[in-house]
Amino acid sequence: MSANGSGATDGRSECAGPFSARVHLTKGEAFDACQALADADRVLVAVGGMAEADALGDLFELLEDRLTTPGQESVGSYSMEREFTQ
């Protein structure tokens, strides 16, 4: 365990168990995640953290692509492409 009590010893968080094949987020959670990435990107650019900002930008693009690609939605849901890109 690290000094801050997070359980991370090398800069990465420890996983409590195996990952699921899918991660299900509510629409609000997905938008909140995208907003947090965009906000962090702006802060990193402002302080000169270009490599970190680029990494967050890549993550944002991956998340956005998964949210807007037809056929990626869960059973019983609908495509968010129309609403996500408005």
pLDDT at residue 80, as a whole number: 40
pLDDT at residue 70, as a whole number: 77
SS3 68: helix
Whole-angstrom Cα distance, residue 41 to residue 49? 9
- Residue ranges of the domains in the chain? 27-68
* pLDDT mean for each 10 residues of the chain (86 residues): 46 70 89 93 95 94 87 46 41
pLDDT at residue 11, as a whole number: 54
SS (H, E, C) 7-58: CCCCCCCCCCCCCCCCCCCCHHHHHHHHHHHHHHHHHHHHCCCHHHHHHHHH
Whole-angstrom Cα distance, residue 37 to residue 58? 10
pLDDT at residue 10, as a whole number: 53
The pTM for the full model equals 0.58
pLDDT at residue 4, as a whole number: 45
